[in-house]
Structure formats: structure tokens, C-alpha cells
Amino acid sequence: MFRYFVRRVLQGVLTFFGATFIVYALMFANQTDPLQALAGERPLPDNVRQALTERYHLDDPFIVQYGHYMRGLLTGDFGVSLTNRKISEMMSQAWPVTIRLAVLAMIIAVMISVTAGIISGIRRGGPFDTVTLVITLILLALPIVVLAPLAQLLFGIQLKWFPATAGADPGLFQLILPAAVLASLVIATEIRVTRASVAENLRADYVRTARAKGLSKRRVIGIHVLRNSLIPVVTLIGLDLGNLMAGAIVTEGVFNIPGVGFNLFRGIRTEDGPLVVGFVSILVIVFIVVNLVVDLLYAVLDPRIRYE
């Protein structure tokens, strides 16, 4: 187990460097003239241009720039954005908001999808199952760029159930609507996986044994079936965290939430390399850690899996 853990961590380090390198390269390749973008319409004086070029090492070859950047990153220095703000400061404001949003979305998604998945798994072909199927199909068909403004228009502006935008330091209530929109991104697949898993486990031989042991239906399903059914669901939930982060870029943009996605969105638009790569680096670390935790959790949930 320990060796497996160490190997996974080492793999994670490699993944980290690979991913940041690619992101950095993409930003680099996409760059036309970030300094001009910064200045907008006005012409940029030559001496300013020269000073900034030196400051951001814009004249160096790509690999040297990457080296400079990584050196800073590894010593805990995220550098400054092209708008001259400390990126570490921006992060400490943005991350708590996004974590709140993602966790809220995750809770909403898990509560709805596990409950609905179990019920439709038990009563396959029943009215509940059919209605759930139709709803999941609609959710799957609607991309979040459509769903988010739609939800904002309907629940935020017309019905006024929730605030339409979240504001500078959003609390839980302001985040409910965006979190629900974000959750809808993963609910459909989570319901389908739970349903399939429950249905499959209900047919398993050990269920017959449990019934032959004179256990109540409640216990057979609530303990024996559920514990087995949740193994693939837990894995999926872990991996869905990635989807939520990606979805957050659009959701935070639409609902004006000053989180990671919001900053990334702005960074990409203004060709702000240091900003984008800094945020993505942390995202990569989150992904790697979550994946590792999911894999370790998998071994805890399913005793048949032992990592060597």
C-alpha cells in the first residue's frame, strides 16, 4: 500500500510538470502581443514596452520563460499578473469562493443523484424511473452555457427566488442557484451510474443469500446492496470534481462569482499568461490529489482491491 502511494505521488509530480508545461506552451503559442492588449487602444511608449518585456522575460525563448516561471512557482512565488496584481493574493480571494461553490454543488448532486438512482434502480420501468430518465436526458442535452443563463433568467430575474448574481463575497444562499446549475452538469451521469449499479447488484447472488438469511428487505437493500452499489458511484463523484471545476468557469462568469473560474476566464481573455498558468497549476494539483484519494478510497470500499 505504501509503495503504491509513493509511486502514485511520483507519478503525480510528473503529471504536474507535464500539465503546467502544456498550459504554458498553449498560452505562449496563443500570445500575440499581451502588452498591447494591456494598454488597450492607446499606443505603448517604447521605453515602457521595453521595461515590461524585460520584467516578464517576453524576449527570452519559450523554454527559458517556462524555467523562470517554474522556479518562481516552486519557491511559492506565483508572480504578478500583467495587471500588476500579486497572483497569490488573487488566489487567496478566489479559491475559498470556488471551493464553497464546488462543495455545495457536490452536495446537491450527490443527494439528488444517489436518492433518485437508488429508487429508480429498485423500481426499474416504473413511473419514477421513467420521469427521471426524461429529466436526465434533458440535462445531458443542455450544455451549461445554455443552462446557466436560462436558470438565471427564470429563477433569478423573473421568479426572483434567488439572487441573480452573487456579488463580491457570496454567502451560501447566493451560491445555491449557481451550485444547482453546476450540479446539473454531473447529476445525470451520477443518477445513471447509481441506477445501473443498484440494478446490477439487486440481481447478484449475495442478495439471494441475504434474503435466505431472513433479513428484512430494508436491510438487504440498505446494507448489502447499497454498500456494493456505491463503489462505482464514489469513484465517479471524485472524478466529477474535475467536471465541476471546468463548469465553474462558465457558471462563475454568468453569475458573476469572483472565484477561480472567473479569474481564469478573465486571464484567458486578456492573454495574461502568469495568471492562467498559476491558477491552472493549482487546479492540476487538486485533480491529482483528488484522483489519488479516490483510488485509495476505492481500496477501502472494496476489500478485493489491494494495491501492491
Partner 1 sequence: MTDIKAEIDVLPGLDSSARLLEVEDLRVEFRTPAGVARAINGVNLHLDPGETLAILGESGCGKSVTAQAIMGILDSPPGFITGGAIRYRGVDLLKLPEEQRRKVRANHIAMIFQDALSALNPVFSVGFQLGELFRVHRGMSRQDAKRRAIELLDMVKIPAARQRINDYPHQFSGGMRQRVMIAMALALDPKVLIADEPTTALDVTVQAQIMNLLAELQRERNMGLILITHDMGVVADVADRISVMYAGKVVEEAPVLDIYARPAHPYTKALLESIPRLDLKGQKLNVIKGLPPNLTRIPAGCPFNPRCAYTRDVCRADPPPPQYDVAPGRTARCHFWTEVAGNEPAVS
Binding site for partner 1 (CB under 8 A): 204-206, 208-216, 219, 224, 227-228, 231, 301-304
Q: Which CB sits closer to partner 1, 76 or 125?
A: 125
Cell digits of residue 25: 506552451
Place of cell 443552462: 147
CB of 130 to partner 1, least distance (A): 18
Give exposure, 138-157, as e/b (b: 16+ Cβ within 10 Å).
Answer: ebeeeebeebbbebbeebbe
Q: How far is the CB of 304 from partner 1 (least distance, A)?
A: 5
Nearer to partner 1, 7 or 213 (CB): 213
Q: How far is the CB of 215 from partner 1 (least distance, A)?
A: 6
CB of 191 within 8 A of CB of 185? no
By beta-carbon proximity to partner 1, the closer residue of 86 and 227 is: 227
Q: Which is nearer to partner 1, 62 or 206 (CB)?
A: 206
Q: Which is nearer to partner 1, 205 or 308 (CB)?
A: 205
**Least Å from the CB of residue 203 to partner 1:** 9
d(CA 14, CA 30): 24
Number of other CB atoms surrounding residue 206 within 10 Å: 12
159/212 with CB nearer partner 1: 212
Of the two residues 71 and 208, which places its CB atom closer to partner 1 in the complex? 208
Q: How far is the CB of 112 from partner 1 (least distance, A)?
A: 25
271 backbone φψ class: left, alpha, beta (φ>0; ψ -120 to 50): left
CA dihedral over 89, 91, 96, 101, signed as positive or negative? positive
- Minimum CB separation of residue 11 from partner 1 in Å reads 27
**Closest distance between partner 1 and the C-beta of residue 219, in Å?**
7
- Cβ(105)–Cβ(182) under 8 Å? yes
CA distance 34 to 53: 10
* φ, ψ (nearest 5 deg) of residue 86: -70, 125
Furthest-apart CA pair in the chain: how many Å? Answer: 86
Minimum distance, C-beta of residue 216 to partner 1, in the bound complex (Å): 7
The residue (of 208 and 269) whose beta carbon lies closer to partner 1 is 208
3-state DSSP assignment of residue 32: coil
Cα 45 to Cα 48, 50, 54, 86, 272: the distances in Å are 5, 9, 14, 24, 20
